[in-house]
């Protein structure tokens, strides 16, 4: 069973003159009153009594008090804690009557239970670190968070590159009419030279035909002039006629090829190749953009997988309160960050975490609950009772919701204690021979 506060007696502590209270063993015990009446002094007295010197108020002694501060706290495990005397010396007595000290209290008193605002005012990361320390998955979760962050940063960079490449590709000009590959000027020139060579051969044959025709005419004249040489020249004539016939037949069927298209291609080759290069650059840019987009989608899938692993890790942990989690290094409850939680949810989360820090500590001290409406107070008290927790809290109010009302450092309706006369100092007289 966790330890609860059974009773408190306090005198001359801060604004307290004399207060005695018996809080409810579970649920919410509200200490009410107007401002500057001593409500918070009750919590400070409990914290000092149970938490040790680090919780000692700066001005522990009530102003104007003759008697020193006195504190007595009785706990449900039978331990009695008392501070009294000029130096407010600590005495801790266990159920067997054996006396001890602060070390015994430290075993079942959680410091944050005495100073819950310290937890509530800590940073989101500090709250998350405390929770992770409690459930024992802090290091594993940190690894998952670093992996997720690395993938997220990589995905963000990849997405930016994909968008840039896509924008770049969209702005590039393409030429559908251009060939798929750059045109070689040397190939076109070689083709042109081949055609010119063939055309030259044709011209040579035409020249040969003209020459032979001229020879024929001259030979006819020779035959006419040299009839005496007829026999010899006739044979020669016959041969020449045969050659002429062959040459004529060969030349008649010849068709010259045009080089105009190749000449135009040679003239336009640089423009054509510029268009080809432009098309290739655009296609390359589009391919790069598509690749980066694909990489982005893959990274998104990896991030989702890591988040699922992270969630499985948290789901498998023994959390102090259902709905608690850590997202991006920040504590959340039912998906909400601390600043977005209601006041009651913040108290519920803080109380659950503090209890888990030390399960033997069954109480928490809360200050300034006036921000809670009656419904919220009732809901919070019901939750405390269901959890077996005890909460002693203050509220600026004198209404019926407060079990105890403090007025001028005392429980309303009680008589002020009589001042105990201080013993006069003993004066030792002088006796001869005595010291």
Superfamily of domain 5-109+358-411: P-loop containing nucleotide triphosphate hydrolases (3.40.50.300)
pLDDT tens digits, one per residue of 161-206: 889 988 888 888 888 887 877 777 787 788 888 888 888 888 888 8
Per DSSP, 206 falls in state H
Q: Tell me how far apart the terminal alpha carbons of the chain are, to the nearest angstrom.
A: 58
**Residue-level pLDDT at 24:** 95
pLDDT at 31 > cutoff 70: yes
pLDDT tens digits, one per residue of 95-111: 998 998 899 999 999 98
CA distance 43 to 7: 13
**Extents of the domains making up the chain:** 5-109+358-411, 137-316
Q: Hunting for tokens 């990896």 — which residue is that?
A: 302
CA distance 34 to 408: 9
Which position has the higher pLDDT, 24 or 342?
24
pLDDT at 115 > cutoff 90: no
Return the bridge partners of 83, or none.
71, 90
CA distance 326 to 311: 9
pLDDT at 249 > cutoff 70: yes
CA distance 329 to 314: 13
Return the bridge partners of 31, or none.
394, 404
């Amino acid at each position: 069973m966790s330890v609860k506060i059974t009773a408190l007696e306090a005198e001359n502590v801060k604004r307290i003159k004399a207060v005695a209270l018996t809080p409810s063993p579970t649920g919410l015990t509200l200490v009410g009153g107007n401002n500057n009446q001593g409500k918070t002094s009750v919590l400070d007295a409990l914290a000092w009594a149970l938490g040790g010197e680090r919780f000692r108020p700066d001005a522990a002694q009530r102003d104007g008090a003759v008697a020193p501060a006195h504190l007595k706290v009785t706990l449900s495990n039978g331990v009695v804690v008392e501070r009294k005397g000029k130096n407010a010396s600590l005495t801790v007595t266990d159920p067997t009557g054996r006396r001890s000290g602060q070390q015994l209290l430290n075993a079942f008193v959680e410091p944050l239970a005495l100073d819950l605002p310290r937890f509530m005012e800590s940073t989101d990361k500090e709250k998350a670190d405390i929770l992770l320390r409690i459930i024992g998955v802090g290091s594993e979760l940190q690894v998952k968070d670093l992996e997720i962050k690395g993938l997220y940063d990589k995905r963000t960079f990849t997405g930016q590159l994909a968008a840039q490449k896509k924008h770049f590709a969209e702005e590039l000009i393409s030429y559908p009419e251009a060939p798929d590959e750059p045109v070689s000027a040397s190939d076109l020139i070689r083709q042109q030279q081949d055609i010119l060579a063939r055309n030259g051969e044709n011209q040579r044959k035409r020249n040969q035909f003209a020459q032979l025709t001229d020879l024929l005419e001259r030979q006819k004249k020779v035959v006419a002039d040299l009839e005496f040489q007829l026999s010899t020249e006739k044979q020669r004539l016959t041969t020449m006629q045969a050659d002429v016939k062959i040459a004529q037949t060969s030349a008649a069927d010849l068709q010259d090829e045009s080089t105009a298209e190749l000449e135009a291609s040679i003239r336009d080759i640089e423009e054509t190749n510029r268009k080809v290069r432009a098309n290739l650059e655009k296609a390359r840019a589009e391919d790069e953009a598509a690749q980066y987009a694909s990489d982005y989608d893959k990274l998104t899938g990896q991030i989702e997988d890591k988040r699922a692993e992270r969630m499985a890790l948290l789901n498998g942990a023994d959390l102090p309160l259902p709905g608690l989690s850590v997202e991006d290094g920040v504590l959340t409850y039912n998906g909400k960050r601390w600043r977005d939680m209601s006041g009651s949810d913040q108290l519920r989360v803080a109380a659950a975490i503090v209890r888990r820090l030390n399960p033997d500590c069954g109480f928490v001290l809360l200050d300034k609950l006036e921000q809670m409406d009656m419904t919220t107070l009732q809901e919070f008290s019901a939750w405390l009772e269901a959890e077996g927790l005890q909460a002693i809290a203050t509220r600026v109010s004198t209404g019926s919701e407060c079990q105890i009302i403090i007025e001028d450092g005392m429980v309303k309706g009680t008589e002020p204690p009589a001042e105990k006369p201080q013993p006069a100092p003993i004066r030792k007289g002088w006796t001869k021979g005595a010291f």
